[in-house]
Structure 1
């Protein structure tokens, strides 16, 4: 499995190790410096997981255990409705890292049958659940359309899932943005950098591991992609967006800017000027239409959104060039901005000329340039393979030589990994 360490500088080091070995060393690290994450790789079967949070200061009437229980009931109803799976709170591991100002918890479903094909499919399922909740909040009559989805909860209890943000208005307390490719998801007993709020077992958790109740077992159960035997047919939900618009994802490749054509450089130069001086292009996705190309540029280090009139704190934006209309506009990945599109602006002639016609260099291509906060399994550098406790890597660290409480000098930094990407 792949893990990430966050250092005091903010840089992340990456490690591939057996989860039991990882726990053996990570559990001896001091709590305030244990900023570690599981990397949820693209196209990897995984459990259902949720990140729930809200600001306590502006949501004082909320009772955490009550709204979490209501949410679990709704999710369980959806699982039964779509997949004929019966689960309840006893199947859900609840971890909590709440503070005096912020409620924050993770839900990880412990059901062997509820394994999804990947976290993209989990994200589609979660967004379906959240969309249904929003509909019921806005119109209680929706409950009568499909009452089995809302069995066990009242309209008043559903409305409590809508919380107030200090700056963003009302939103659901379920974070819908944690289902991206190669997502970093915080580990059990780990804290965010600069904070002393580790993820611990919640006071209202009722899940108990079978037979073994050790801390290591809880850690292993909390891992999203540590699932043992994968079902013959993992669950899928919704349309495979990659298949519908870009062909098979297996053909996706990693490229550097030096590999692209002159046409690409003209387009990237235009987008780079829009997001200068800090922004960078992370990925380019191209789809064809009868009248031209539609190109989506996912942006990194620049998050200004026209809807909110400021930079988003965490979610990125993307720029779309529409060859059929000769325009460009901005959209973003923030759940609160779903469906928003900025005002369309005219493309310069040298740019619109390129994408108004079919360009064979651009057709059906999805190029990931590099995202420092994510790791692609295609560009990992092999530093050695790890066996059982005290095993020896072929090229890397001898784990048996490390003192108890010391973390081996393994891993690869952002800069080294970026260099590795350019060599693939």
Structure 2
């Protein structure tokens, strides 16, 4: 017994002597199991700003991910690690809080074109989600070729599904060949430009447009409308009080009808919301800075439905050495997983002129509204002052007022 103890002490002394000659570094980063994988970086933060500040200090190519820990307060923690290491632990059993994960799309980061589509099934009994996706991909592919000369098809679009019996929910990620957008603000501008006719269609259905002639008033909502399929109804009731057609009214009306028919071509993207109004199946609110976008195979905290490959997905990743098919799908789904060496062209799209004018008009109109500050908070660590605004919901990011969400100013 004494001899064994002496042998153990001798080994400890030898190790102590070795560490004195060759001490460990101040930061110990273990290697993953395979030689081609990067050095380990794995650090959690309570604040997103802290995570991004840490990224700036790392030599490795690391990224920020958001993790939902519980459903009670919606608190998210921010993980800094590499794509490789995240997948190494993400794909293991048993499932952990990593399975409620989100990719943080950094401000001004080059990214892929992406869409978030959703609608409630109960108020849209006749809606065909697969048809919507197929036509949307066809539309976007056409616009990409027209505006940028970029060709793509359904085979270049990763289609992810997390639908439930209550809600249709899909993510689309376009994997354009050697091409990406400058950042997700430019992605949002492009999406809004493409879908502008559908937005106009919704506005025209919601609001009656008054056309004024010399001695008459014509309301398109009651006298001349265009149905969802583009057919004109009630056109014969638009007449002067004397029984004669008013020439200038007729000309304006014809132009309005042509515009309405063009806009109605995108009516397949219009769905009912829970309040009885109309909205786009595409969520235009996801193109904001530092956006959290749910990861492939993740579910929301408290939910069990994960984001999986859709039944109608046509994208198949190319096989790569040392990377499984599942990992390839995971890497393809990451909006910001773009190597500089792989990109030959960066696409830009600035705010449409008409959109900018309408925003200014609305801003001017809302300037006299009785808005105010409901409360304020100061975050000393980030040196941020946050004002919660009351009685004012105009949001420049989505180009309209929020229906239920409030807004805040961050200084």
- Both proteins in one fold, TM over 0.5: yes
The alpha carbon displacement at 1:239 in A equals 5.0
Look up the match of 2:395: 332
Q: What is the Cα deviation at residue 334 of structure 1?
A: 7.3
CA deviation profile, 1:289-321 (whole Å, cap 9, x unmatched): xxxxxxxx9966x47555xxxxxxxxxx4xxxx
1:82 aligned counterpart, secondary structure: helix
Q: Equivalent residue for 1:48?
A: 113
Q: 1:177 to 1:30 in 2, by over 3 A?
A: farther
52, 69, 92: which is aligned to 1:7?
69
Equivalent-residue separation in structure 2 for 1:305 and 1:194 (angstroms):
32
Change in Cα spacing, 1:275 to 1:115, as seen in structure 2 (3 Å) is same
Q: Please give the secondary structure, in 1, of the residue aligned with 2:303.
A: coil
* CA distance 1:231–1:338, shift in 2 (3 Å): farther
Residue 334 to residue 235, structure 1, CA distance change in 2 (3 Å): closer
Deviations, residues 173-193 of structure 1 (Å, cap 9, x unaligned): 000010101111100000112
Given that 2:124 and 2:272 are in contact with CA atoms closer than 8 Å, whether structure 1 keeps it comes out as yes
- Alignment partners' CA distance in 2, 1:85 and 1:165: 34
Residues 135-166 of structure 1 show CA distances to partners (whole Å, capped at 9, x for unaligned) of 46757589989x9xx9xxx956x322100000
Find 2:347's aligned residue among 216, 235, 258: 235
SS in 2 for 1:58: coil
Q: TM-score, normalized by length of structure 2?
A: 0.58
Aligned length: 267
SS of match in other structure, 2:116: strand
For the 8 Å contact 1:85–1:113, the answer to whether it is kept is no
| 2:178 aligned with 1:178 | no
Higher deviation after alignment, 18-27 or 30-39: 30-39
Q: 1:174 to 1:303 in 2, by over 3 A?
A: farther
Look up the SS of the partner of 2:169 in the other structure. strand
Equivalence map 1:131-150=2 (5 Å): 131-135=196-200
Q: Using a 3 Å threshold, how does the CA distance of structure 1 residues 106 and 334 change in structure 2: closer, same or farther?
A: same
| Residue correspondence of structure 1 range 89-100 to structure 2 within 5 A | 89-100=154-165
Q: Equivalent of 1:19, from 83, 90, 100?
A: 83
Q: Residue 160 of structure 1 aligns to a residue in which SS? A: helix
- What SS does the corresponding residue of 1:46 show, helix, strand or coil? coil
Q: 1:209 to 1:230 in 2, by over 3 A?
A: closer
Determine the C-alpha separation between the residues in 2 that align with 1:108 and 1:155.
26
Partners of 1:83 and 1:239 in 2: CA distance: 16
Residue 331 of structure 2: aligned partner: 220
Indicate the SS of the match to 2:300.
coil
Q: Secondary structure at the match of 1:80?
A: helix
Instruction: Tell me if the contact between 1:31 and 1:190 (Cα under 8 Å) persists in the aligned partners.
Output: no
How many angstroms does 1:29 deviate by?
A: 5.6
SS of 2:372's partner is helix
Q: Confirm or deny that 1:164 pairs with 2:164.
A: no
Segment of structure 1 superposing worse, 231-240 or 205-214 = 231-240
Change in 2 beyond 3 A, CA 1:92/1:219: same
Structure 2: which 5+ residue stretches go unaligned? Answer: 1-62, 205-225, 231-254, 357-370, 404-408
Alignment check: 8 A CA contact 2:108 2:183 kept: yes
> Is the aligned partner of 1:275 residue 2:373?
yes
Query: 2:286 is paired with a residue of what secondary structure?
Result: coil
- The separation in 2 between residues aligned to 1:53 and 1:232, in whole angstroms, is 33
RMSD: 3.5
2: distance between equivalents of 1:30 and 1:197?
17
Q: Give the one of 187, 195, 200 matched to 1:130.
A: 195
Higher alpha-carbon Rg: 2
Matches within 5 A, 1:392-411: none
Given that residues 31 and 198 in structure 1 are in contact (C-alpha distance below 8 angstroms), is that contact kept between their aligned partners in structure 2?
no
Query: Is the 1:31–1:189 Cα contact (8 Å) retained in structure 2?
Result: no
Is the 1:305–1:332 Cα contact (8 Å) retained in structure 2?
Answer: no
- Does the 8 Å contact 2:319/2:325 carry over to 1? no
Q: 1:197 aligns with which of 301, 305, 316?
A: 305
Gap regions ≥5 residues in structure 1: 245-272, 283-296, 307-316, 318-330, 341-366, 370-424
- Provide Cα deviations, 1:25-70, integer angstroms capped at 9, x if missing partner: 1222655841101010011100000000000110010111111111
Aligned position for 1:410: none
Q: Which position in structure 2 is the counterpart of 1:292?
A: none
Please give the per-residue CA displacement for 1:59-118, whole angstroms capped at 9, x wherever unaligned.
Answer: 010111111111111111111111011111110000000000100000000113430011
Give the stretch that moved more between structures: 53-62 or 29-38.
Answer: 29-38
* Residue 116 in structure 1 maps to residue 181 in structure 2: yes
| Preserved contact between residue 42 and residue 118 of structure 1 (Cα < 8 Å) | yes
* Aligned residue in 2 for 1:72: 137
Change (3 A) 1:180 1:221: same
